[in-house]
Structures are given as C-alpha cells and as structure tokens.
Amino acid sequence: MILHLMQKDVPPILDTTQAIALEKSSVESEMPVTTTAEPERITKVKKLNKAQVKTKKPKRGLASSVLHPRTTSMPPRGATPFSLLGYREPIKGGPNVYETTEIIPQHGSDEVDVHYQLRNDAILSSVASDAEDFTLIVVVTNDEKSWGLNRSAHDFFELLDTFTHPKEMTSVTLLTSSMSEFDKLQKLIQGRIQDYTQLSLLYRTDFSVSKVTRENRHDVSLQRVRRRMLTRYRNYALLTTLESWHQHVVWLDSDVIVVPPDLVSKMIEADRDILTPLCKICGKNNRVREYDLNAWAGSRTTPESSSDREDLFPGPLNVTHIRDFQNGADDFIPLDSVGGTMLYVRADVHRQGVLFPHHFVIGSEWTQEGYDGIETEGLCYSAHFLGYRCWGMPHEVIYHAPKDYQW
C-alpha cells in the first residue's frame, strides 16, 4: 500500500531530451501572445504620454525677490574714505599704553564715524596668563545729557570706581553721538587708562532719528523707530570692541546712579547666561517704583489681525515682573524678556550670534514685520533657540537717575 502511494505521488522519470523539451514548452506557454504590430503601438503610447506630461507642466518665469521692493535704499557713503590715523601709537599715559584711531565714512553724509581706543598692554600681559574674568562694560549714550540730571561722565566713572570687580580685569566701551562730548570723553579716558585694560570711545550719528529726543523717547508712537535705532548702536558698539579675551559683557545705562559694589562680581559668579537686576527709580516725595519694565515673564497681547501690527504696542496679558519676586526666597527667577539698564551676558552667548534684534521678531514673516520682541525684549527669544536662558535677580536693586519731570 505504501509503495503504491509513493509511486502515485512521484512523477515518472524522464530522460534528458524529454526534460529539456518539457521545460521549453512550459516557458513558451507562459509568455503573452502578441502580434507583430504590438511593440510599435506600445512605443507610440509611451511617446504620447511623455508629450502629454510636458504640456501639463505650468510655465513659470524666474522668481522675483520678496524683500527688495520692501527694503529702504541706503544713501551712498560719504566722500571720506576709511583711514587708520594711528595704530597702536604710544601715548604719555604710561609705559605700554597705546592708542588707535580709525575714521569710517557714513552713509548719506560727509561726516565720519570715529573709533578711538586705548589699550594698556602692561596690565593685559601681566594678568593674561591666569585671567578668567575679563569683563567688557558697554555704555551707549547720545550726548552730555545722557548721564542724567546734573551728572557727567566723571560721575559715571566714579560709580565704576566703587565696583569690587578688579579694574585690571575690566574694559569699558563708550558710544556717543555728540562730537563735543566725544572730545570730553577722550580726555577723560586718557587719564583713566592706567587702571583699565582697554577703554574704547566711539562716535557715530548716522543711526539717529531726528524726531526722537530725550524728552519724548518713551512715547508709544516712537518706540519702533527709537528701539530700532538703539539696537543698531548697541550691536555696533559690541561688535566693534568685543575682544577674544573678554569672557563677560555688562550693559549699563549711562543714567544709572546706584549699583551695589559687588553686583558685577555676583553676576559673574552666578555662572548663568543672561542676568538682569531689579531697577528702580525715585520720584516725587521719595516714591519708589520699578523702572525697567522690559524685564518680564509670561505672555503679552497679540494683534487680532495682520493689519493691526503697525499700531499695536504690546501690553501685559499675563505678565510678572522682577518686583513681584522681591520678597520671595529665590535669588534668580526665569525671564522671557530683559531690559537694558543693567544687563549681564556671557560673552560667548553674544559671539554665537545672540544680539539685540533690530526688528520685531515675534510674529514676523517674509512680507511683514512682527509685533513684539525688539531690542532687549527679543534677546531671550533669540537665546533660547541655542539653549541659553535669561534670569532676573530680584534681591539685587539698582537705581536709575531721577527724571527732570515728577510723577
């Protein structure tokens, strides 16, 4: 029985000639039957399909620029060429003290920008081998009134004298838009360079907006143009004078009159990316209030439509300020925005491109500017993409100079 089943399932044994003939007939039976005209028809169909595909593609011209029609044309540079009047010329201020003067043409004017710098190589070479905390203090001013009521640059340097952070580890950059003030500052820093590593003085006017004055600078209608102007001055001062050996940058308003002596040292020791203290101001009858409201955390108002962006001045929606944490236990509080009255930035954060935005970055598009986040208020937004954070110091209080008006 088993033998019978095995014989039933096994095909008969064929010789070689029979096997080849069987395989050939099997293959031929599986091939499709075509006429001699079929290949020609297929070729015509393929050519037809290619032609049809070509006609379906839309004809496009070269793309035009979206930004160029919206870009304000820059006036040509003045006739005065760039020149280096003196590079590291020795001065009488002491041994190994050198001055450099650069003349830079302006756009749309025959006036020039001036970059004057003093460097104390004696200090730099003596402390460079073990230096870890070289600090650049940057101050942007307009003219002699920028130092505050009944104050001058002499008062500002006296404030710096109270800082516990060593002067030999400190550089100072001063920017002014007044040539008469430039001349005064030049004489002042020549008498101060013995104590500092580097003192830089910049004169530049072509970013200024004529309708912005010290009296109306806080008007809502002028904030866009004023803060764009201030951003350009800030970034210019920083990028012109930041050296590779600077590890820390401290932005300080010229009209700040009280700073705790050890605050700069505390900012450095905190080992944080971006820091700002609580800034207050005294008014009538010794009333005290928070001055720098650009330091906040939370969310602000947004435009209801794109057409509302031009007229929108962002206000608080759900916002806390540094003063709200003054009586709390935390020495550092997270912020989404900072002000510039006194601002610490780790130098490497700036070097990686975290600068002050010169436009409203929040909500911006290719064809339209945004509605929030200009100047210092856009710094934290830019920084957070690179992993850097902003912090407030609610227990550290600085004071702004009183205004020439009462409130």
DSSP string, 201-269: EEE--TT--TT--TTTTT-GGGHHHHHHHHHHHHHHHHHHH--TT--EEEEE-TTEEE--TTHHHHHHH
pTM above 0.85, yes or no: no
**219 and 292 fall within a common domain:** no
Q: How far apart are the first and last CA of the chain?
A: 118
- Residue numbers in the chain where pLDDT is lower than 70: 1-58, 93-94, 128-130, 209-222, 305-313, 404-407
Tens of pLDDT, residue by residue over 246-257, are 999 999 999 999
Is residue 27, in this structure, part of any structural domain at all?
Answer: no
**276 and 389 fall within a common domain:** yes
Is residue 314, in this structure, part of any structural domain at all?
Answer: yes
Please say which residue of 187, 221, 254 terminates a domain: 254
Is residue 67, in this structure, part of any structural domain at all?
Answer: no
**Residue 97 is part of which domain span?**
75-254
**131 and 246 fall within a common domain:** yes
> Burial level of 54, CB count in 10 A (0-12/13-18/19+)?
exposed
Nearest to 256 by CA among 50, 401, 52: 401
155: Cβ–Cβ under 8 A, 6 or more apart, which residues? 147, 148, 257
**80 and 213 fall within a common domain:** yes
**391 and 243 fall within a common domain:** no
Domain count, the chain: 2
At 373, which CATH number? Answer: 3.90.550.10
Cβ-defined contacts of 71-78 (< 8 Å, 24+): 74/107, 74/108, 75/107, 75/108, 75/109, 76/107, 76/108, 77/105, 77/106, 77/107, 78/105, 78/106, 78/107, 78/108, 78/109, 78/110, 78/111, 78/112
- Backbone torsions φ then ψ of 109, nearest 5 degrees: -160, 150
**231 and 308 fall within a common domain:** no
> Burial level of 398, CB count in 10 A (0-12/13-18/19+)?
buried
Is residue 38, in this structure, part of any structural domain at all?
Answer: no
Is residue 13, in this structure, part of any structural domain at all?
Answer: no
pLDDT at 317: 75
**229 and 287 fall within a common domain:** no
How far is the C-alpha of 28 from the C-alpha of 18, rounded, in Å?
Answer: 16
**282 and 365 fall within a common domain:** yes
**169 and 241 fall within a common domain:** yes
Is residue 57, in this structure, part of any structural domain at all?
Answer: no
Is residue 51, in this structure, part of any structural domain at all?
Answer: no
Is residue 298, in this structure, part of any structural domain at all?
Answer: yes
**406 and 284 fall within a common domain:** yes
pLDDT at 221: 52
| Cα separations in angstroms, 72 against 69, 186, 221 | 8, 35, 20
pLDDT at 73: 85
Tens of pLDDT, residue by residue over 48-72, are 555 555 556 667 889 999 999 989 8
